[in-house]
Amino acid sequence: MKRVKKLLAFLLLSGMISSVMADDNSTVNGQIVIHADQPRGTINRNIYGQFSEHLGRCIYEGIWVGEDSPIPNTRGIRNDVVAALKQLNVPVLRWPGGCFADEYHWKDGIGPRDKRPKMINTHWGGVVEDNSFGTHEFLDLCEQVGCEPYICGNVGSGTPQEMMEWVEYMTSDADSPMANLRRANGHKEPWKVRYFGVGNESWGCGGNMRPEFYSDNFRRYNTFVKNYGTNRVYRIACGSNGDDTNWTSVVMANVGNRMNGLSLHYYTIPSGNWGKKGPATQFSEGEWFSTLRRALEMGELVQRHSAIMDKTDPQKRIGMIVDEWGVWYDVEPGTNPGFLYQQNTLRDALVAGVTLNIFNDHCDRVKMANIAQLVNVLQSMILTDKERMLLTPTYHVFEMYKVHQDATLLPIELSAPDYKRDEKAIPSLHASASRDKAGRVHLSVINLDPHRDAQISVKVAGAQTGTITGRILTATTMDAHNTFDHPDAVKPAPFTGFERKGEEIAITLPSKSVVMLEIQ
């Protein structure tokens, strides 16, 4: 017995006992209080936005197959992909990049397709870009999906005139050269294009600029981004790479009220090493833990950049636009390294849920977010293989979470023990709540622990609870994923692991799961 006590004392002092406790199969006990009587603001539906770049098989094969393809399509755009995206209520779609945007010259992508010039996509794989998917095709895609377009302009290699003419081409109803060129190319009426980015990653692939130099460029280019007719452009400036708070400080000071939004880019790299990021499947629990820990850093980034923005914009008039985010792994073995094709597992579903919870909780500042990317690239919603298509676990989280779009954020109090590993700790549970326009309360709650179920007591303060329903996304293994032979291996199912106990709701949340409860 003395030896056992000495061993326990040694483990406690060395910090090893926490790792032992984190690895057992005991149950986590947690409490959630939803403050339905303290609404905090509206969750902008654009937080659930998407991103599509001329990269790998995102545009070509993933979206665009051409009108002569045997794959069912409408004007060259895949019907199955459009149908899947409509189920998500996709609010906004960013295009054409990404790094590609600052080498894209929009006039190459209009007019008869057989006469459009070809180029080399120097950023992504060195493949030939034939420009068969251009402005008309993208805006047609947005109309088919029912989402708003968000176009990123070329500051890196383009001119103010080129940007000015693009906005005129798309949105002017005047008797003017660019509007008449649009009419000649088959679209009589102007489009509504509200969201426009003045450059992309200008600190890197968009020009390797200093924030002072970019600020001056924004002021110059933005001068020529005009409002035509009833179209009013929401102008988005290039923001920080991750934790570069100096960039935010300088741009806020030098651009100020000339912009409506300021972007932020952050990718979750499991290893923290861009040279060897880690595999998308067949990973260890250590890699599961490090991925979720780095995904949770999004909350710290949003808070730090928000604090800087608050100094000159305390009214929060300028939105934070997180227009590139998601998990970035090593590419799938045997695929083109420039195509960034990766599988998508239950781990990615949890990353998506955690990140969306964070954006919901900061809806006073975060006004749009665009996960990277839509199809076949990085943390995709959809994967395609010729005529076949599958929905990823990340897709299913977005579909479950769409109930938060345009809903009222309800603050929560959450208490639960940490999930610990290798002397590091992250929350074992993560959640957010909202109330929709019909008065229904939705609670999205995630169990990050891959081993232990959670017993959670939920109380809704300031509201009566009636009917309760739920849905769950989980699997038996951490790297469970959908394949073209087994496309439904990971998909939502009805959730019944709850019961009323007086004024509280008792939930049994399985390990490694995402649950959405609806409380009427």
Residues tagged active-site: 201, 324
As given in the structure block, the two tokens for residue 69 are: 């393809």
Task: Tell me the sheet residues that pair with 236.
Answer: 197, 261
Which has the closest alpha carbon to 413: 33, 38, 40? 33
SS3 string of 21-54?
HHHCCCCEEEEEEEECCCCCCECCHHHHEEECCC
Q: Are 447 and 28 in contact (CB under 8 A)?
A: yes
In sequence order, which residues have a C-beta less than 8 Å from that of residue 385 and are 6 or more positions away?
484
- Burial state string for 43-66 with b = 16 or more CB within 10 A and e = fewer than 16: bbbbbbbbbbbbbbbbbbbbbbbe
* Rounded Cα gap, residues 508 and 315, in angstroms: 41
Residue 94: CB atoms within 10 Å: 30
Q: Are 432 and 360 in contact (CB under 8 A)?
A: yes
Q: List the end-to-end C-alpha distance of the chain, in Å, as a whole number.
A: 54
* Rounded Cα gap, residues 403 and 76, in angstroms: 31
Which has the closest alpha carbon to 483: 399, 390, 375, 348? 390
Length of the chain: 520
Q: Are 404 and 356 in contact (CB under 8 A)?
A: yes
Pairing mode, strands 49-51 and 92-95: parallel
As given in the structure block, the two tokens for residue 195 are: 């969201």
Place of tokens 């929060």: 316
As given in the structure block, the two tokens for residue 447 are: 């169990």
| Angle between helix 285-312 and helix 346-361 axes, rounded to 10 deg | 20
Query: What is the rounded (10 degree) CA torsion for 325, 329, 335, 339?
Result: 20
DSSP 3-state of 426: strand
The backbone torsions φ and ψ at residue 439, rounded to the nearest 5 degrees and listed phi first, read 90, 0
Sign (positive/negative) of CA torsion 293, 294, 295, 301?
positive
Q: Are 321 and 306 in contact (CB under 8 A)?
A: no
Helices in 113-271 by DSSP H: which ranges? Answer: 135-145, 160-171, 177-184, 211-223, 245-254
* Rounded Cα gap, residues 309 and 315, in angstroms: 10
